[in-house]
Structure 1
Amino acid sequence: MSLVKFNGNGQLPSLLDEVMGRDMDEFFNFNRNWPGITRSQIGTLVPAVNIKEHSEGYQIDVAAPGLKKEHFNLSLHNGKLTVSTQQQDQQEEKNEQGQYTKREFSYHAFSRSFWLPDSCDQEQIQARYEDGILHIVLPKKEEAKPKAPTQIQIN
């Protein structure tokens, strides 16, 4: 049995973090484009996605807890399926004079795109959101579905 080192946020450290160390983020000024975010945290900005293929089609599951189905935007253009959301939260607290004592803004947005295979029936795509997961069902075209073997008569 061997021990596996975690980086404190419940994720395995990347090979680059192990070899070079996290101080390299500061050396290369990584946080210039993503203030307050390290290289190993970039994957947490976009929800995780599972893609499955079965005999009837494909399924894409997007883990997006805390959202509602109204927050999502699904679009299909030239064989590219795009899942996106944009949400803005605003909390305000004012004193009796109407001055702000606390005001917090929160913006959440992401966009993921997937190129659909030619075997996908793009006219029959369905989506539902339940228990924090957006389920997108992409059925295959009839000619792309596996056929049962047929017996050929020999004359």
Structure 2
Amino acid sequence: MSALLYNSRPAVRPGRAFNSLLNELLRDAQPTTPTPSTSFVPAADIFETAAGYELHLALPGVAKDAVTIDFQEGQLVVTGRRPAPATEGDNVPQLRRVETRFGEFRRAFRLPETVNVKSISAELTDGLLRVTLPFDTEKVTKQHIEVR
């Protein structure tokens, strides 16, 4: 025998949707400041392809000439600077809330020995720095030796 239950009371719903309430709580919990930061750490993604590795760094608002890429002691070091918006002058709006990070940045990545350091290339377009790290085809990293 099956039972059918009927609820005559309408569902109790809050005045605001849960998502908007949660967004409001999280927004207010984020640290904000009326002054720009002096440093930040850009987000990075690393992909491996058949030809090598590809490193993507999110650098919106950073000019090409403000980025330096060096190879030092087995590490790829990316440094640069994102200038803060001007806050002085007659026609410049006053900052009320700053969530974007500005200032200097530095990221270092240890490279495996399989990367051909002399063939590394980089391109900055649409706020994304793409660093191509090709494999060194001359180096032997694994080899099976037959016993005779």
The alignment's TM-score, normalised by the length of structure 1, stands at 0.55
For residues 1-155 of structure 1, the aligned pairs below 5 Å read: 8=26, 45-89=40-84, 90-93=86-89, 108-143=103-138
* Worse-superposed segment, 109-118 or 78-87: 78-87
What percent of counterpart residues are identical?
A: 27
User: Is contact 2:77-2:108 (8 Å) kept?
Assistant: yes
The structure where helix makes up a greater share of residues is: 1
User: 1:63, 1:103 → 2: CA distance?
Assistant: 26
Superposed CA RMSD in Å reads 3.5
User: 1:50, 1:109 → 2: CA distance?
Assistant: 19
- 4+ residue runs of structure 1 moved beyond 6 angstroms? 3-7
Q: Which has the higher contact order (CA 8 A, sep 6+)?
A: 2
Q: Structure 2: any 5+ residue segments left out of the alignment?
A: 1-17, 34-39, 96-100, 141-148
Match of 2:108, SS? strand
Instruction: State which structure, 1 or 2, has the greater radius of gyration over its C-alpha atoms.
Output: 2
Deviation at 1:55, TM superposition (A): 1.2
User: 1:122, 1:46 → 2: CA distance?
Assistant: 24
Q: Structure 1: any 5+ residue segments left out of the alignment?
A: 10-21, 23-30, 37-44, 95-101, 146-155
Aligned length: 105
Match of 2:89, SS? strand
The alignment's TM-score, normalised by the length of structure 2, stands at 0.58
Match of 2:88, SS? strand
